[in-house]
Amino acid sequence: MEYLDFVNLAFTPNDSDLICTFYVEPKGISLKEAAGGVAAESSIGTWTKLTTEQPYMKKLAATVFKIDQNLIQIAYPVELFEKGNMPNILSSVAGNVFGLKALENLRLVNISLPNVLLDSFKGPKYGIKGIRKLLRVQERPLVGTIIKPKLGLKTADHAKVAYESWLGGCDVVKDDENLSSQNFNPFEERIIKTLEVKDKAEEKTGERKVYMANITAETETMLKRAQFVQDQGGNYIMVDILTCGFSALQTLRDQNFNLIIHAHRAGHAAFTKKPKHGIAMQTIAKIARIIGVDQLHVGTVVGKMSETKDEVLNNIIALKQDIHTFRRVMPVASGGLHPGLIPSLMDTFGKDFIIQAGGGIHGHPNGTTAGAAAMRQAVDSTLKHISLTDYSESHAELKTAVDLWKI
């Protein structure tokens, strides 16, 4: 079979087919041939005729069934894939094809798995409903922070910042993506001390609080750390899903810990940032949901991250749309956020999301507790449809933030 043999614009996909949408820019060949090349190289074909082809293989060929300008859709027979094996699936549809010389650019825009494959993954254990049930917060966004500086604080100081954050009104405190078990802040010691002050903050405020401990490591170590968090009475863990890998994430989810999985997307922009090449974040979001994360960073629109509003909305859709029987996943907004951005943020996200602000809380001139209070006040102001400027007149912490960040 040659590349063009993998193109059939009259073909109708089966319900059992895996469907991928790609953006394709050819280099030195026609768009139709380039589309066929992607289908061939990601299924049973290659660049030349083979003497080893057998007639029974043709039913396993991927088929390009739609070409709309530079967007193509390919149907893959489900027999090409091993159930419950996300690395196998992605090695096929998002593997060597990105390196083809005949392609100037290739981007995996979207992916849709058939039920027979979806059945082989667990999906989220908790999702939005489970998270809200744990925190007993139903009608507003959850307010969270990341311990800053992200690296360097000793364990006692780390716990102090966490306590002050919860005291000021944060629901959530999490480690940053590169805090692991460095000598200045060992993992086990950090878990024990931070969970201790979490309990104190709950007693002081009368609110539920959660600590997202970063367990990212080699897979066996990661599982031991998850067990340690659970044994210490924690109810949340955080994983850098791309740097640890989807197979490690799946191994973690398959243990069925009684722990909510917070998914950090560290490294995603290496795949997602270029609009014409790589893998779209909505595809990564969908894959992470299928494997079983409960919440995931999706961008902000405002703040310091580069994604457009359309991209962020597509990421949110991937987490909340009906997929099989999987629970909806909580979107997380993080990156350069401060109280002045809350109205715009809630305009994009609505109420079902987590606000994760680092510098926008710990950079408050009056300290972390005041910074957390200002963030909660900004949320309350927006829910009440009162401008931040007006609301800040009777809320000192928000007033200081308004003045500092020139809202």
Instruction: Print the SS3 string covering the chain.
Output: CCHHHHECCCCCCCCCCEEEEEEEEECCCCHHHHHHHHHHHCCCCCCCCCCCCCHHHHHHCCEEEEEECCEEEEEECHHHCCCCCHHHHHHHHCCHHHHCCCEEEEEEEEEECCHHHHCCCCCCCCHHHHHHHHHCCCCCCEEEEECCCCCCCCHHHHHHHHHHHHHHCCCEEECCCCCCCCCCCCHHHHHHHHHHHHHHHHHHHCCCCEEEEECCCCHHHHHHHHHHHHHCCCCEEEEEHHHHCHHHHHHHHHCCCCCEEEEECCCCHHHHCCCCCEECHHHHHHHHHHHCCCEEECCCCCCCCCCCHHHHHHHHHHHHCCCCCCCCCEEEEECCCCHHHHHHHHHHHCCCCEEEECHHHHCCCCCHHHHHHHHHHHHHHHHCCCCHHHHHCCCHHHHHHHHHCCC
Structural contact between residues 239 and 215, judged by C-beta atoms closer than 8 angstroms: yes
Which amino acid appears at position 362 of this protein?
A: H
pLDDT at 51: 82
pLDDT at 252: 98
Distance CA 257, CA 230 (A): 8
Instruction: For residue 344, give Cα distances in angstroms to 30, 339, 379, 406.
Output: 43, 10, 11, 15
Q: Which of 17, 133, 11, 138 is nearest to 77 (CA)?
A: 17
Dihedral angle, C-alpha 368, 371, 376, 380, nearest 10 ° = 160
Q: Which of 344, 376, 343 is nearest to 357 (CA)?
A: 376
- Domains, the chain, in order of start with CATH, read 3-118 (3.30.70.150), 127-404 (3.20.20.110)
Q: Report the chain (407 residues): mean pLDDT per 10 consecutive residues.
A: 94 97 97 96 87 87 97 98 97 94 96 98 98 97 96 97 98 96 97 98 98 98 98 97 97 97 94 94 98 96 86 96 97 94 95 96 97 98 96 97 89
Q: Which two tokens stand for residue 258?
A: 């009684």
Which residue numbers are catalytic? 148, 264
Q: Which of 195, 190, 198 is nearest to 164 (CA)?
A: 198
Q: Which two tokens stand for residue 264?
A: 């950090």
Structural contact between residues 322 and 333, judged by C-beta atoms closer than 8 angstroms: no
Q: Which of 87, 359, 137, 134 is nearest to 262 (CA)?
A: 134
Residues near 304 by beta carbon (within 8 Å), at least 6 away in sequence: 335, 336
Structural contact between residues 163 and 200, judged by C-beta atoms closer than 8 angstroms: yes
- C-alpha Rg value of the chain to the nearest Å: 23
pLDDT at 295: 98
Q: Which two tokens stand for residue 263?
A: 């998914």
Peptide bond into 149 cis (omega under 30): yes
Cβ-count burial 195-231 (b if 16+ within 10 Å, e if not): bebbeebeeeeeebbbbbbbbbbeeeebbebbebbee
Distance CA 185, CA 158 (A): 8
Residues near 253 by beta carbon (within 8 Å), at least 6 away in sequence: 122, 125, 261, 291, 292, 293
Distance CA 62, CA 352 (A): 38
Structural contact between residues 86 and 245, judged by C-beta atoms closer than 8 angstroms: no
